[in-house]
Amino acid sequence: MTGALFEITFMAAAPFWLLMIFAPNWRPTARVASSPLTVLPVLTLWAVMAAPVFPELWAAVSSPDIDTFRDLTSLANGAGAVWAQIIAWDLLLGQWMFLESRRLGMSPLVTGPLLVLTILLSPIGLVVLLVVRAARRTRSRPAGRAYEKVGGPADS
């Protein structure tokens, strides 16, 4: 059963990824990407897989060390729960990246492959977006204006 739940986990997130990658300009896509509720199906699967191993899960997160985490992920439900958590957080990250790329005016031809990269290796996809975002902010700053550390214009 855990194997099937593991397989279903990504399928529960896939429709949202497909919308952001293949229908980025469709009006409902932005509404869907703006909702944190997209992760509820994946989090439901997480709960089903995490419940039987909750003592091991709690031990791994409340006092983390590599051996405790290894023990958790050696259990089918433990590995499945960790996988579901990764899929849920990656989806939320992908939604933010999608919305941020739209705000920055990035082409869907750039955003689509970036989201695919994020599905596969989210830390790399995030770093690429952050570099693009920083480059766009640097180019758009008016000369001679002071900027706060958070990147916005200072109050004058």
Contact between residue 39 and residue 72 where contact means Cβ atoms under 8 Å apart: no
Domain assignment present for 144: no
Contact between residue 92 and residue 84 where contact means Cβ atoms under 8 Å apart: no
Q: Which domain holds residue 97?
A: 2-139
> How far apart are alpha carbons 94 and 102 in whole angstroms?
12
Q: What contacts 107, CB < 8 A, 6 or more positions away?
A: none
Task: Give residue 136's pLDDT band: very low, low, confident or very high (50, 70, 90).
Answer: confident
Q: What contacts 79, CB < 8 A, 6 or more positions away?
A: 6, 72, 73
- Whether residue 52 is predicted with pLDDT greater than 80 in this model: the reply is yes
Domain assignment present for 61: yes
- Whether residue 101 is predicted with pLDDT greater than 80 in this model: the reply is yes
Domain assignment present for 93: yes
Q: What's the start-to-end Cα distance of the chain, in Å?
A: 61
| CA-wise closest residue to 28 among 98, 89, 104 | 98
- Whether residue 90 is predicted with pLDDT greater than 70 in this model: the reply is yes
Domain assignment present for 109: yes
- Whether residue 147 is predicted with pLDDT greater than 70 in this model: the reply is no
How many domains does the chain divide into?
1
Domain assignment present for 128: yes
> How far apart are alpha carbons 95 and 58 in whole angstroms?
28
